[in-house]
Amino acid sequence: MRTRNTTLPVTSALTGVGLGGAALGIATVCLATAFYVQNHAFSVFTTYLSDIGDTQGWPQVTFNTGMLIIAPIRYLFLILLILRLRDLGAGKLFGLLTFGIGTLVVIGSIGMSAIPYSLHPALHKSSAMLYFFGVVILQTVIGAQELKRRLPLLLPVTSLAVVAIYLVFAFLFASIGKIEGITRSTPVIWEWLAFVSLMFWLISHSAVLGRKAAH
């Protein structure tokens, strides 16, 4: 068992980093969208988040800068999450696996933000696939561990909800032009749902695992 002196700083840091990251993520998307709608038609059914990040001017600057700042914050949160779950009994293999997958997810996230679709479509899409499919695997591993540790049901439910939504989006996005009926607009709403589900996951895990006793 880890000592009280180890557990308390981790829980406090996890809460602060998680809630701070969620606040920054929501603020980035809201502010970038506010800039975008001043000169462009907007709908969660037709406008990708990456469309906002690929729009010259303040939408692009705000969105991509915010996403690039958030990437290392989410990486730090993942490290703290691994430490917290280790405190609650997760094994070393879980920690190594989660850390490795999380590294790939962060690389994909940075690639999407740093390389707009208009600059290099293939690289942007490859980064997006690495990110979204990476998140599916990462959240599956985390959700399974939370179920195994019998943590509050909110945690595995939100983890697996992210998996389901991201998987649907990634499949639809990869199928554009390959399956009849799946157009460029088909996956758009699922990308917005993916963002919302991830923010809710971040907030719920910060709140629950930020307590000393998570069981």
pLDDT tens for 69-100 read: 999 999 999 999 999 999 999 999 999 999 99
Contact (CB, 8 A) for 134 and 148: no
- Token output for 184: 């460029």
CA nearest 205: which of 25, 3, 18, 79? 18
Burial of 175 (0-12, 13-18, 19+ CB in 10 A): middle
Task: Look at the pTM and tell me if it is higher than 0.85.
Answer: yes
Q: For 158-210, how does the pLDDT look when each residue is reduced to its tens digit (9 = 90+)?
A: 999 999 999 999 889 889 889 988 999 999 999 999 999 999 999 999 999 98
- Token output for 97: 């696996």
